[in-house]
Structure 1
Amino acid sequence: MKKLEIIIRPGMFEAVRDAVSRLGIHGLNYTEIRGFGRQRGHTEVYRGATVQVDCLPKIKIEVVVHDEALESVIAAVVATARTGQVGDGKIFVSEVLDAVRIRTGERGVDAL
């Protein structure tokens, strides 16, 4: 099993959620976060003053998938979330040793 931490633009969340769901992945968690990458934020004009915005709003999606679904989920997220502009996001992939469904005690892929 693999855990994907997907960082995307807030406006892409629903499309990414739907794309992942179409692949048969029905459970995920998301968090509204703020951060920056290479773009280092941007400047805005607020009440006539130029303000540097260092941390931009992002969405972090966490989903655990079985190994066979990994590449298709990554491809779906990239195809859906890519705009070609700086700040599209990142996907981090980690190994998951085990999963336990608390309600039934199921383990491993069955717990997903």
Structure 2
Amino acid sequence: MKMIQAIIRPSKVEEVKNALDEAGYTSLTSIEIKGRGRQKGITQIWRGEEYQVDMLPKVKVELVVPDDKEDEVVEIIRKAAYTGNIGDGKIFVLPVEKTIRIRTGETDDKAL
């Protein structure tokens, strides 16, 4: 099994969620976070004064999928989160050793 973590723009959460849902991946977790990448934030102007915002709002979306679904899910997220601009985000894929459904005790793929 693989855990897929995607750090995306808040404006793209619904598109990513809907694309995953349409493909049959309904279970996911999302967390509002702040972060920065290579651009190290942005410069904004407020009341005529420039100021630097170096931690931008992002959303982390996480889901666990069987090994053979990893590439499909990564591509769904990548396409749905894409704007073509700096700050579109990153996708990370991590191994998952075990999954247990608390309610039933089912494990691994049956627990997904």
TM-score if structure 1 supplies the norm length? 0.97
Aligned position for 2:101: 101
Q: Report the Cα offset of residue 96 of structure 1.
A: 0.2
Percent of residue pairs bearing the same amino acid type: 46
Residue 82 of structure 1 aligns with which residue? 82
Gaps of 5+ in 2: none
Question: May I ask how many residue pairs the two structures share in their alignment?
Answer: 112
Partner residue, 2:6: 6
* Greater Cα shift, 40-49 or 1-10: 40-49
RMSD: 0.7
In the alignment, which residue of structure 2 is the partner of 1:66? 66
Whole-angstrom CA distance in 2 between matches of 1:70 and 1:20: 12
What is the Cα deviation at residue 93 of structure 1?
Answer: 0.4
Q: Which residue of 1 aligns with 2:37?
A: 37
3-state secondary structure, aligned to 1:30: strand
Which runs of 4 or more aligned residues in structure 1 lie more than 3 Å from their structure 2 counterparts after TM superposition?
A: none
Q: CA deviation at 1:82?
A: 1.0
Query: Counterparts of 1:10 and 1:2 in 2: how far apart (Å)?
Result: 23
Look up the match of 1:49: 49
Cα distance in 2, alignment partners of residues 49 and 34 from structure 1: 23
